[in-house]
Structure 1
Amino acid sequence: MEQVNKILQDLTHRTKNMPVLKDISAKTGLETGQIAAGAGVLLLLCMLFGLGAALITDAIAILYPAYMSFKAIESAETDDDKQWLTYWVVFALFKVIDDWSEILFSWLPFYYPIKLAFLVFLFAPQTRGALKIYETAIRPILQKHMKDIDEGIDRAVDIGAKVAAVAKEEAIKQGTNMVIKNMTQTQQQSTN
């Protein structure tokens, strides 16, 4: 119980200046830490019972890192820039894999709490999980295949430019034909 009180005191100290929590605290008489802890427990219960679990998980995995990325951009230090850029690289790859595998695994008990724990591991400054995964798994693979990836991107851009040029020419051709057809019909109607 003593540890719980210590955690609540620390949470109260960290949240005491948050306007929304201050307003709720003034109306309820509860400390901001208690309100934050209650909200956290409520979110966890929702996730355990599958009520908005995907939304809660995605919101936490995107909103907090987005705000911290904003703060990193605005700060003079560069270490935090690397941490958050790395998070977004790892998160993007995870999200692609997760979107495909979620269909298979989302029905498993505790899928969303486990997914959230993994995502928190990725962005938490204490664990720096994204940096660890990036350095040990993603970076070596990307470095090994960087030339091939760059060539593939260049080919895709070239193909896209050619397709766009053909589409533009076809649009101009179709537009011109439509204008000529409308002008011809208008002239025929005015002569009749």
Structure 2
Amino acid sequence: MIHVTMFSFFSKLKERVDTFLNEKNFVTDFLNKIEEKTGIKKRLLVVGAASATGLYLLVGYGASLICNLIGFVYPAYYSIKAIESPNKDDDTQWLTYWVVYGFFGVGEFFSDIFLSWFPFYYLCKCLFLLWCMAPVPWNGSRVLYKRLVRPLFLKHEATVDNMVCDLSGKVITAAETVTREVLQTLVRNRTIHPAEPAAKELPGPSNELKVD
């Protein structure tokens, strides 16, 4: 069963990579130029880049940045394509990913200082994000949303709605109060410090007294 699942995963992944490589975008244009100069196929270039990235995540400096870019750039690209396409199924897919990505980011904020010291942490994090965006039925974001996020949200939905409404009302009230105080201060300053009258003209030669 596990072998069948892994075979399905890699088949879907290969299909998605082939589809991406056949599209026209700045990445494929760049790969085409390298292929023309070196004679190395685009697919091999992608496999080599992925292998080098995996090794770098193990021992390289700045692995956190690379891992976050992997978890953001590819999903952001396909999210924009989903918005521009008439099909709404992909919208749901990537919305689900971003919800899970947000929950993961909040949890990581409190645990990153400890987990970042674990061996292979960033490689494991990268694999987790790839699982969350994988084009398979057992997609990570879909599984986590159905089993964790959705039940938690439905359980506390009413409480969260009340908190959001109260917070929105307080923010609007505070904004109105600040705006009113600023306007009153401007009016008060204009009343206390009126514009200075025009300077009186000094007497000129024509206005001097004539001495007989």
Q: What TM-score do you get using the length of structure 1 for normalisation?
A: 0.83
Q: What is the correspondence of 1:25-64 to structure 2 with a 5 Å cutoff?
A: 25-64=35-74
Give the aligned partner of residue 177 of structure 1.
188
Output the amino acid matched with 2:187: T
1:57–1:112 Cα contact (<8 Å) kept: yes
| Unaligned residue ranges in structure 2 (runs of 5+) | 1-10, 201-212
Give the aligned partner of residue 159 of structure 2.
148
Q: What TM-score do you get using the length of structure 2 for normalisation?
A: 0.76
| Unaligned residue ranges in structure 1 (runs of 5+) | 1-6
Output the amino acid matched with 1:98: E
Question: In structure 2, the residue corresponding to 1:183 is in which secondary structure?
Answer: coil
1:67 pairs, out of 77, 85, 90, with 77
Give the aligned partner of residue 103 of structure 1.
113
In the alignment, the residues of structure 2 paired with residue 16 and residue 71 of structure 1 have an alpha-carbon distance, to the nearest angstrom, of 15
Report the Cα offset of residue 33 of structure 1.
1.8
In the alignment, the residues of structure 1 paired with residue 49 and residue 65 of structure 2 have an alpha-carbon distance, to the nearest angstrom, of 15
Report the Cα offset of residue 44 of structure 1.
1.9
User: How much identity, in percent, do the aligned residues show?
Assistant: 33
Report the Cα offset of residue 13 of structure 1.
5.3
* Cα RMSD after superposing both structures: 2.4
Report the Cα offset of residue 120 of structure 1.
0.9
Give the aligned partner of residue 131 of structure 1.
142
How many pairs align?
Answer: 181
Query: Could you say which structure has the higher helix fraction?
Result: 1
Report the Cα offset of residue 182 of structure 1.
4.5
1:86–1:134 Cα contact (<8 Å) kept: yes
Give the aligned partner of residue 124 of structure 2.
114
2:176 pairs, out of 165, 168, 189, with 165
Structure with the larger RCO, 1 or 2 (CA within 8 Å, 6+ apart): 2
In the alignment, the residues of structure 1 paired with residue 54 and residue 185 of structure 2 have an alpha-carbon distance, to the nearest angstrom, of 57
1:65–1:123 Cα contact (<8 Å) kept: yes
